[in-house]
């Protein structure tokens, strides 16, 4: 599945994943945003891995992402909410 969301600032956030046994699997996050450090992208995808689809509201997804990032991570042009919206758009 693939979901995309264009932020109000014009940056694209895309999330690709499979749903296996009702859970997100093989999550990949891409887009034309900036992230520092770049390795934090793996933590964002990891935060979504295994998330149950039935319970995955935008709020829960964004909260899960925030919980896996520390204060040193700088998201430029996107946010946990933007990633959450892209995920939800994949099956809407």
Cα(50)–Cα(27) distance, rounded to whole angstroms?
9
CATH topology of domain 2-90: Enolase-like; domain 1 (3.30.390)
Length of the chain: 92
Q: Which residue has the tokens 């979901």?
A: 3
Residue of 86, 84, 33 whose CA lies nearest to 56? 84
Cα(34)–Cα(41) distance, rounded to whole angstroms?
10
**pTM, whole model, 2 decimals?**
0.95
Looking at residue 82, the DSSP 8-state letter turns out to be H
**pLDDT (tens digit per residue) in 37-61:** 999 999 999 999 999 999 899 999 9
Q: Confidence band (pLDDT; 50, 70, 90) for 8?
A: very high
**pLDDT (tens digit per residue) in 64-81:** 999 999 999 999 999 999
Domain boundary assignment for the chain: 2-90
């Amino acid at each position: 599945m693939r979901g995309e969301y264009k932020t109000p600032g014009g940056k694209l956030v895309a999330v690709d994943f499979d749903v296996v046994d009702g859970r997100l699997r093989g999550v990949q996050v891409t887009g034309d945003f900036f992230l520092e450090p770049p390795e934090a992208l793996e933590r964002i995808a990891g935060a979504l891995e295994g998330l149950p689809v039935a319970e995955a509201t935008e709020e829960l997804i964004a909260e899960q992402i925030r919980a896996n990032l520390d204060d040193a991570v700088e998201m430029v042009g996107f946010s946990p909410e933007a990633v959450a919206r892209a995920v939800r758009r994949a099956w809407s």
